[in-house]
Structure 1
Amino acid sequence: MARAHINGIGIDYDMQGEGPPLLFIHGLGSCKEDWEAQVAHFAARFRVISFDLRGHGASDKPAGPYSMAQFANDAAGLLHALQIESAHVVGISLGGAVAFQFAVDYPGLVQSLTIVNSGPDATVRTFKEKLAIWMRNYVVRRKGMAKLAAMIALRLFPKPENRAERERFIERTSRNDPQAYLNAFAALIGWSVAERIGGITCPVLAIAADQDYTPLSMKEAYVARIPGARLEVVNDARHALPMEKPAQFNAVLERFLAT
């Protein structure tokens, strides 16, 4: 593990392997440890960088508010600190949204873009969505991160054979500072770069789990708006796809990066 001073805060990161730079961006309430199976697989051929977003993991947790542009700027600052001119960028969930923001704000830093179970828009449109946001805030403030982690884990890893992954998720998510978590959550709600994604010119792959709680139709719609982008669906999988089915996920990503 290493640490870089970026935009006035400490960002914790890990870098392994040699070759083309490959940057992984984790999801809300997660950390760089979520990418362990990908780091182990890709470090033989890539210079793999994973890091903790501000407010997450071992990175600093400054007072909010946070913003998606700020997260993207931190990622750009990390690449500059590591003297990396550009990287293949992979993001899941919140990390996928950060990756979209990164690609439209810093196109010269992105060799290719892989979006996992995410999209370019988090606009709140329905009462059901508003209720879900209220409920998550309520659970974090009144019940704590451990309760939220246990609730989410059952949706992400429902199968008995994924018990170890479920327990790791609960342990990692429970570590979160509640206010920093809510700051990051608030940064995502209402955010959108949907009107800018048509200008992305690097190769783009969207990877979707068939049982993800973000609709496949949404992913099909935004992929159609990005020139040359393509979508691959992994069956019998859920939101935390890289952890739930690492072999299948790594194979899909490896095929994309090879082209």
Structure 2
Amino acid sequence: MPEMIINGCRLHYTDQGQGPAVLLIHGLGSSSRDWEYQLPALLPHFRVLTLDMRGHGQSDKPRRGYSIKAFAEDCLSFIEQLELNKPHLVGISMGGMIAFQLATDHPEVPGSLTIVNSAPEVIPRRPTEFAAAAKRLFFAHVLPIGTVARGLARLLFPKDEQQALREKFEQRWRENDRRAYLASLRAIVGWGVSEHLDRIACPVLVISGDKDYTPVEHKRNYVCRLGDARLEVISDSRHATPVDQPESFNQLLLDFLLPQAGHHSIHHNKT
């Protein structure tokens, strides 16, 4: 896995395939590995890049630099160093926030955005939202990382037949650096770019699991404020949609990306 020094931090990345560039941006406590179910679908058509954000995966875990804006600047530097032209950004959860930040700060950069189970802000506005944010921060800070990992795995993959996924992702999340994980979590709460959505100048696809943390209606509300944007909902899916429903997810992603890249999706007709 190659690496690059970006803003004083050593970041690991992958770079495979040929064609228009697609940059996959993972979520909180995750890494490039979480896109394993997308690579076989994307690589026949695209140059696919993944990046372990600072504090995550095999990248450095510095003591400073944890903010959504800083993550977005890391992505921008990565794009510039590799001279990627209008890359298509695909971000899940925190990765979607990073994509929103990059697209509002530098609207000329992305060719498109695919936002998965995410939103343009995580700002508590109601008493129940303040309580939920406080509860999440509290338990993340007092519980061992292994306990957090086990709880997340059970929440995201609750079915009996998902035991293998539960075990795989619990083990991955146990590998997180606790300090970097908590710093990244704190970076999310209170972040937002909702007031700048009109700056986004590229097509946007928003994908939501029907059982995601945040209701589909929340996503519908912000999609209405975007220009060239649409919302797709995948049934029987929670927060890790690319993992728990990879075939449906990959189909939507290809149907969105291929026409923009000049391909015809004749081989990817919906059944």
Q: TM-score range by the shorter chain?
A: over 0.9
**Which residue of structure 2 aligns with residue 221 of structure 1?**
221
Map residues 1-259 of structure 1 onto 2, 5 A cutoff.
1-64=1-64, 66-259=66-259
Which moves more between the two structures, 8-17 or 132-141? 132-141
Secondary structure at 1:62's aligned position in 2?
coil
Give the Cα–Cα distance (whole angstroms) in 1 for the partners of residues 53 and 25 of structure 2: 8
Is the 8 Å Cα contact of residues 65 and 187 (structure 1) preserved in structure 2? no
Residue type of the alignment partner of 1:81:
Q
1:124-162 superposed Cα distances (whole Å, 9 cap, x missing partner): 123333333333333333321110011111111111222
Give the Cα–Cα distance (whole angstroms) in 2 for the partners of residues 123 and 131 of structure 1: 12
Is the 8 Å Cα contact of residues 4 and 10 (structure 1) preserved in structure 2? yes
Which moves more between the two structures, 134-143 or 20-29? 134-143
Which moves more between the two structures, 215-224 or 78-87? 78-87
Give the Cα–Cα distance (whole angstroms) in 2 for the partners of residues 53 and 130 of structure 1: 27
Where does structure 2 lack aligned partners over 5 or more consecutive residues? 260-271
Is the 8 Å Cα contact of residues 31 and 56 (structure 1) preserved in structure 2? yes
Alpha-carbon distance, 1:248 to partner: 0.8
Give the Cα–Cα distance (whole angstroms) in 2 for the partners of residues 66 and 134 of structure 1: 19
Secondary structure at 1:221's aligned position in 2?
helix
Runs of 4+, deviation exceeding 4 Å: none
Give the Cα–Cα distance (whole angstroms) in 2 for the partners of residues 178 and 127 of structure 1: 28
Alpha-carbon distance, 1:106 to partner: 1.8
Give the Cα–Cα distance (whole angstroms) in 1 for the partners of residues 29 and 129 of structure 2: 19
Is the 8 Å Cα contact of residues 21 and 85 (structure 2) preserved in structure 1? no
Give the Cα–Cα distance (whole angstroms) in 2 for the partners of residues 163 and 247 of structure 1: 19
Over 3 Å counting, the alpha-carbon distance change for 1:65 and 1:186 in structure 2 is: farther
Alpha-carbon distance, 1:65 to partner: 5.1
Is the 8 Å Cα contact of residues 124 and 133 (structure 2) preserved in structure 1? no
Identity %: 45
Residue type of the alignment partner of 1:100:
F
Give the Cα–Cα distance (whole angstroms) in 1 for the partners of residues 198 and 168 of structure 2: 37
Is the 8 Å Cα contact of residues 79 and 86 (structure 1) preserved in structure 2? no
Which moves more between the two structures, 60-69 or 44-53? 60-69
Between the two proteins, the alignment pairs up a number of residues equal to 259
Give the Cα–Cα distance (whole angstroms) in 1 for the partners of residues 218 and 247 of structure 2: 25
Where does structure 1 lack aligned partners over 5 or more consecutive residues? none
Give the Cα–Cα distance (whole angstroms) in 1 for the partners of residues 40 and 106 of structure 2: 28
Secondary structure at 1:107's aligned position in 2?
coil
Let me know the Cα RMSD of the aligned residues: 1.3
1:91-122 superposed Cα distances (whole Å, 9 cap, x missing partner): 00000000100111122220010000001011
Secondary structure at 1:187's aligned position in 2?
helix
Residue type of the alignment partner of 2:240:
A
Residue type of the alignment partner of 2:80:
H
Give the Cα–Cα distance (whole angstroms) in 2 for the partners of residues 217 and 182 of structure 1: 29
**Which residue of structure 1 aligns with residue 263 of structure 2?**
none
Is the 8 Å Cα contact of residues 220 and 231 (structure 1) preserved in structure 2? yes
Is the 8 Å Cα contact of residues 67 and 184 (structure 1) preserved in structure 2? yes
Is the 8 Å Cα contact of residues 117 and 209 (structure 2) preserved in structure 1? yes
